[in-house]
Structure 1
Amino acid sequence: MKKFLIVRSDRIGDVVLTLPMAKLLKKHFGEAQISFMCDTYAAPVVRLCPEIDEVIEIRKSGSKIDIAGNIRLLKGKTFDNVFVVSSEFRLAFIMKAAGFRKITGNGYRLYSFLYTHKIYDHRSKVEKHELEYNLSMLSSEFSPAEISRSEPVTLSVPENVKSAAREILLKAGANKGKKNIIIHPGSGGSSVDLPLTKMNELARQISALGECNLIITGSSKESKQCEIVAAGTGAIIVQGNLSLDLFAGLISCTDLLIANSTGPLHIASALGLNTIGFYSKIRVLSTKRWGPYSSKGYTFEPEIDCSDCTREQCERLDCMNTIDTKKVLNLVTRILNVGIQE
């Protein structure tokens, strides 16, 4: 039986977009055992992926990856190929020191000599989607044609978790007979966001329809953002006190998730749900690289013409403020078949 290890140490969205690697490996190798090594915070979402057989949580010393601790953790394990998706020296060194014979990683790093198989992709050029860059890591196992026929992963939330999430919504005042819309205004600084005033404008417009339960979500650090977006809407605020798997359960109970470029958007896409995302035209943060990888994913970008956009230029020109919330609202009504559709 083949055994593979996929290593990704960064944020939830990145991790979700890496999971299709496991799906392609399972599809081709059948009974292969797929292990996934990730940050403890992201582990609950990885466990929702049916193709993952084992989740290995990266050991940390403070905020840094513990080299010695992770070598001990991996010693004695055997894998036919280790895919180091995160370009990080500590991870590359750990895999080499753990004695794995076949290690695949990015070929453009000073420490690339630690890999036995190198993938020569400059992700900063944004020639394809992040999910497709991740699948390219499998080129040491598959032909380009086999990789191109791959499919997005589908997460599976246990029914007891869904039930717990539904109970939270009902206790918070959600109407069981109405459709659920989540607005997740934060992004943890990973993107250029739609201004909170615009999010609130959209939330008020959706609330005025009177046909949906509007739910505002965020982390404990995003409570102020949630309050600003919810102001004057009567929305339910759910923030700061949910485990990640329960949050995924909450997302699974919704009919539409609206967010900036962030992890919850990709979780919703992987659950097969409708999503609307807001993206800047900065190339490395763009829809092309980070948009929802789904036929049910819709995106909005600034309505100004800007080439070679930078974060500084985007903020100076107030680009994201040019997104028209009336157009977003019209899309919401069409997706959910509510309100007056234009």
Structure 2
Amino acid sequence: MNPKSIIISRTDAIGDVILTLPLAVFLKKKWPDCRIIFLGRNYTKDIAEICPAVDSFISWDDISGNPVEALKQQSADAIIHVFPRKEIAKAARKAGIPLRIGTSHRTYNWFTCNRKISFSRRKSDLHEAQLNFVLLKGFGITHVPAIDDLKSMQLMNPKSELRADLNGLIAKNKFNLILHPGSRGSAREWGIDRFAELIKLLPADKFKIFLTGTEKEGAMFRNELAEPFPQVTDLSGKLSLSELIVFIGHCNGLLAASTGPLHIAAALGIHAIGLYPPIRPMHPGRWAPIGKNTKVFVADKKCSECRKTAQCACLREISANEVAGYLMSL
């Protein structure tokens, strides 16, 4: 098979989309003349469009009113349902896309997909980025790249310049560190008090610290993390996603839970330091950032006690001293 165009469908969050980009890079390398189309949401457009392997982006938010016609216009030879969604699976079938690949564990895929791949993400020991490659069995491809091979891929190439006012904030002779305390509920969090402890431990003459997040998140942490510390600049609620991406690329490191900004930092090649619980499937074995300069902190224990609680005691066990020691070694 030599497809001329392939749609990769992933309509969930930023981190999920970033961990799907290796699939686009692999397909573009295998079939250089193939047009890679990414089907996502408006809020992930800025991510997909700076991936060198993605030729065009279509938003489910824009086409959901008439998806069949929109998909027909793409003249795609195949669609890979990386994130299963019944409406998209039905639309792809009605649009007459010849090869429709999805997991066999969704009942509706038995009526909408003609290549059904059997595997369980929840039970697998593979990383999320590797699990996406299992769907390529629909093309007869059984190779799943090693994590080290994924780390060498160029996933992002931002073209925008950094805003002049933001560029002026970057310290030339210090380690510019972004702290992203929140997760918008998508991950277990370390806690504002732990971030405050960390800020106190990092020498102000060696570290310039920035806080990022939504305005709502900023309202929750800025009184404790920004106002008491002159070396901290609060950027929460002040950056669009595209501006955040470029700003991250100009900093030296980013510390966060398992969130989109952590995966952005990893993809851009800066030091991406992740804080993870040991709970499956939230653990770093499944969701660690993919990049050349990544580090994860996770309690060395098996835990299921925190599964049904909002707070994770195991994540809280990661000490600010431990994280500060690592940062000062960079």
TM over 0.5: yes
Q: Corresponding residue for 2:155?
A: 154
- The yes-or-no answer on 1:110 pairing with 2:112 is no
Q: CA-to-partner distance for each residue in 1:253-276, whole Å, 9 max, x for gaps?
A: 110110010000111111111111
2:175 aligned partner: 179
Alignment partners' CA distance in 1, 2:149 and 2:172: 37
Deviates most, 271-280 or 85-94: 85-94
* 1:294 paired residue number: 291
Say how many residue pairs are matched: 322
Separation (CA, whole Å) in 1 of partners of 2:204 and 2:74 = 56
Give 1:98's aligned amino acid.
Answer: A
Alignment partner, residue 215 of structure 1: 210
Residue 241 (structure 2) aligned to one of 236, 239, 244: 244
Is contact 1:162–1:253 with CA below 8 Å preserved after alignment? no
> Is the CA contact 2:176–2:252 (under 8 Å) kept in the aligned structure 1?
yes
Cα distance per residue 1:55-113 (max 9 Å; x no partner): 111126xxxx83x4222322232112100111121121121122211111111011121
Residue of structure 1 in register with 2:42 after alignment: 40
The one-letter amino acid paired with 1:134 is N
- Mapped to 2, the partners of 1:318 and 1:43 lie a distance apart of 35
Name 2:55's counterpart in structure 1: 53
Counterpart pick for 1:99 among 92, 96, 101? 96
2:73 maps to: 76
Offset of residue 313 of structure 1: 5.3
The match for 1:163 is 162
1:287, CA displacement in angstroms? 0.5
Residue 175 of structure 1: how far off its partner (Å): 3.2
TM-score of the aligned structures, taking structure 1 as reference length: 0.88
Taking the aligned partners of 1:176 and 1:21, their CA distance within structure 2 comes to: 36
Shift of 1:142: 4.9
Question: 3-state DSSP class of the match of 2:216?
Answer: helix
Q: Is the 8 Å Cα contact of residues 7 and 76 (structure 2) preserved in structure 1?
A: yes
User: Which residue does the alignment assign to 1:338?
Assistant: none
Unaligned 5+ segments in structure 2 are none
Cα displacement (A) at 1:302: 3.1
Per-residue CA distance 1:224-253 (angstroms, 9 max, x = gap):
234033342220011223221111001001
Q: Tell me which residue corresponds to 1:321.
A: 316
Please name the residue that 2:142 is paired with. 144
1-structure distance, mates of 2:162, 2:85:
39
Give the 3-state SS of the residue equivalent to 1:145 in structure 2.
coil
Give the match's secondary structure for 2:289. coil
8 Å CA contact retained: 1:83, 1:104: yes
Matches for 1:266-277 after TM superposition, within 5 Å: 266-277=263-274
2:329 paired residue among 319, 331, 334: 334
Per-residue deviation, 1:309 = 4.4
Deviation at 1:311, TM superposition (A): 2.5
Tell me the equivalent position of 2:26.
24
Give, in whole Å, the separation in 2 of the partners of 1:306 and 1:217: 31
What do you get for the CA RMSD once the two structures are aligned? 2.1
Change (3 A) 1:184 1:46: same
Helix, strand or coil for the counterpart of 2:172?
coil
| Runs of 4 or more above 3 Å deviation | 145-150, 173-177, 305-310
Residues 3 and 33 of structure 1 are in contact (CA less than 8 Å); yes or no, is this contact kept in structure 2?
Answer: yes
Identity, in percent, stands at 28
Partner Cα distance (1:42, 1:100) in 2 = 24
Q: Secondary structure at the match of 2:208?
A: strand
Tell me by how many angstroms 1:286 deviates.
0.7
Calculate the TM-score normalised by the size of structure 2: 0.91
Distance (whole Å) between structure 1 residues aligned to residue 154 and residue 76 of structure 2: 22
